[in-house]
Each structure stands twice: as C-alpha cells, then as structure tokens.
C-alpha cells in the first residue's frame, strides 16, 4: 500500500509532481494507492487529470486507487465531475486501511 498525501493547493505545477508520484506508485504489480486528501484545499483540472491518469495506470496493473478524507468542497467537486463513480472514497486513513486488510490479494 502506498499513501500519497496532498495538502494546500494542487495547481498546474504541483499536478506534474503528483502525476510522477502516482505513476511510480501505480507501476507496482497489483498496487493499492491511497490518496490522502484531508489537507487539500484546492485542485485544478490538471490535478484531477493526474489522479485519473494514476487510476488508469493502477487498473492496467490490476490494482486500485482510493481517495481518502476529501474536505466537503473537494468532495463536491469529485461528485460534480462524477469521479466518485470511479473511485472508492473513504472518510479517513483508518477506514481505508481497514478496508485494505480485507482486500483480496
């Protein structure tokens, strides 16, 4: 399991760093990548695109990417963009870790 922490604003410049980090994390066989969004205040469309690209990479590797702890405004954005239909969303890292324990290997 890899946890990627996001905090503050994920702007265009930050989205490339995020994309690189997610590609690296998603390149393992059957990866489980948790994106901790608890500290995230703002994300651009580039940032969302980086997350979707990481998700697709995880799928190609027969893995999963979950979103964790988005604040209300970020959660609303995820709903508006219908990304909640793609991703499992957990309220906390503890909840995501508990779900990971029961994940089939």
- Give the tens place of pLDDT for each residue, 71-92: 999 999 999 999 999 999 999 9
Contacts of 87 (CB under 8 A, 6+ apart): 55, 65, 66, 67, 78
What pLDDT is stored for residue 105 in this prediction?
Answer: 60
Domain 2-101: which topology?
Transcription Regulator spoIIAA (3.30.750)
Q: What is the mean pLDDT of the chain?
A: 92
Where along the chain do its domains lie?
A: 2-101
- Take residue 74 and report the two structure tokens written for it: 């970020």
Is residue 93 classed as helix, strand or coil in its secondary structure? helix
Rounded CA gap, 78 and 80, in Å? 6
**Strand spans (E) along 12-102:** 32-43, 64-68, 88-90
């Amino acid at each position: 399991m890899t946890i990627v922490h996001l905090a503050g604003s994920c702007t265009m410049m930050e989205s490339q760093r995020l994309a690189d980090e997610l590609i690296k994390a998603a390149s393992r066989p059957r990866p489980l990548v948790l994106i901790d969004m608890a500290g995230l205040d703002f994300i651009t469309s580039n940032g969302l695109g980086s997350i979707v690209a990481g998700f697709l990479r995880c799928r190609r590797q027969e893995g999963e990417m979950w979103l964790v702890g988005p604040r209300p405004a970020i959660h609303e954005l995820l709903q508006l963009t219908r990304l909640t239909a793609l991703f499992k969303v957990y309220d906390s890292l503890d909840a995501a870790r508990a779900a990971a324990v029961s994940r089939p290997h």
